[in-house]
């Protein structure tokens, strides 16, 4: 599918994986609407072709307004990349007691329910566009994690939420096939995002040493490149692609 002269929604689009995806799609000629929270947008870099839109993926009404904005431009909405998410760490049982239920629900609500919410509202808008010659109307790319399969100690909430994203991939692709909308999921490994910016070089080197090859952390632009490849490759549908250098996460 051609990216140029289409509109794209990228959640979590002000930084990290979302920022990289927004930049990569804009470079290919898409009109990108980068959804994020106000605090993140304030710190985002200006990128030609990217419009930042304040939106909380857990707020259905506000999100519908944001999707309406993205779908009402003079080019058709055909691309959605879901990157918004959080990843706090807590064990089921620890010296502080049991895992906080509110925290578990918050992680699932943002990472899983938020992804479903954006996918659903955006798919509705994409379904109203004119189909391309092959009947295709668009593509949704969701973001899981290798933690969906090999969650580490303390990742119970994060792994559950990302496992849900993986689990949605096939049924979502089947649900939306009749509308000409493909659904794919990327499961990144250890990517050098702003979340790692505060850790020491020694700790970063330790993380990189666990990656079989290439023995380094992944780069956000590699996520953006893969997102572009998925959009342009029309026969990719209903599957999960690991972006991890063959990493298999240890228990801790």
**CATH number for the domain including 16?**
3.40.50.720
| Encoded tokens for 62 | 């506000």
Point out the catalytic residue in the list 52, 158, 223, 235: 158
Task: For residue 129, give its domain range.
Answer: 7-243
In a domain, 248, yes or no: no
In a domain, 109, yes or no: yes
In a domain, 251, yes or no: no
In a domain, 212, yes or no: yes
Tens-binned pLDDT, residue by residue, of the chain (252 aa)? 999 999 999 999 999 999 999 999 999 999 999 999 999 999 999 999 999 999 999 999 999 999 999 999 999 999 999 999 999 999 999 999 999 999 999 999 999 999 999 999 999 999 999 999 899 999 999 999 999 999 999 999 999 999 999 999 999 999 999 999 999 999 999 998 876 766 677 777 888 888 999 999 999 999 999 999 999 999 999 999 999 999 998 888
CA distances to 104, 183, 187, 223 from 141, rounded to whole Å, are 24, 6, 11, 11
In whole angstroms, what separates CA 112 from the centre of its chain? 11
In a domain, 250, yes or no: no
In a domain, 101, yes or no: yes
| Catalytic residue flag (residue 158) | yes
- Count of the separate structural domains present in the chain: 1
CA distances to 88, 148, 160, 219, 239 from 152, rounded to whole Å, are 12, 10, 11, 21, 23
Look at residues 164, 80, 154 and name the one whose alpha carbon lies nearest to residue 120. 80
Q: Report the predicted TM-score, pTM, of the whole model to 2 decimal places.
A: 0.95
């Amino acid at each position: 599918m051609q990216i140029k002269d289409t509109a794209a929604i990228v959640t979590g689009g002000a930084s990290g994986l979302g920022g990289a995806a927004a930049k990569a799609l804009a470079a290919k000629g898409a009109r990108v609407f980068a959804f994020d929270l106000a605090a993140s947008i304030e710190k985002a870099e200006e990128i030609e072709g990217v419009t930042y839109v304040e939106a909380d993926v857990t707020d259905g009404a506000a999100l519908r307004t944001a999707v309406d904005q993205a779908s009402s431009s003079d080019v058709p909405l055909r691309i959605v990349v879901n990157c918004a998410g959080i990843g706090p760490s807590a064990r089921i049982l620890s010296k502080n007691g049991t895992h906080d239920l509110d925290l578990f629900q918050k992680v699932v609500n943002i990472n899983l329910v938020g992804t479903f919410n954006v996918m659903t509202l955006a798919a509705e808008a994409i379904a109203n566009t004119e189909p391309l010659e092959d009947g295709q109307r668009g593509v949704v790319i969701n973001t899981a994690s290798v933690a969906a399969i090999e969650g580490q100690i303390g990742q119970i909430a994060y792994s559950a939420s990302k496992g849900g994203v993986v689990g949605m991939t096939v049924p979502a692709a089947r649900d939306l096939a009749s509308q000409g909308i493909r659904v794919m999921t990327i499961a990144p490994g250890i990517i050098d995002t702003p979340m790692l910016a505060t850790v020491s070089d020694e700790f970063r080197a330790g993380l990189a040493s666990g990656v079989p090859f290439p023995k380094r952390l992944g780069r956000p632009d590699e996520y953006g490149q893969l997102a572009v490849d998925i959009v342009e490759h029309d026969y990719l549908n209903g599957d999960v692609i690991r972006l991890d250098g063959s990493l298999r996460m240890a228990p801790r």
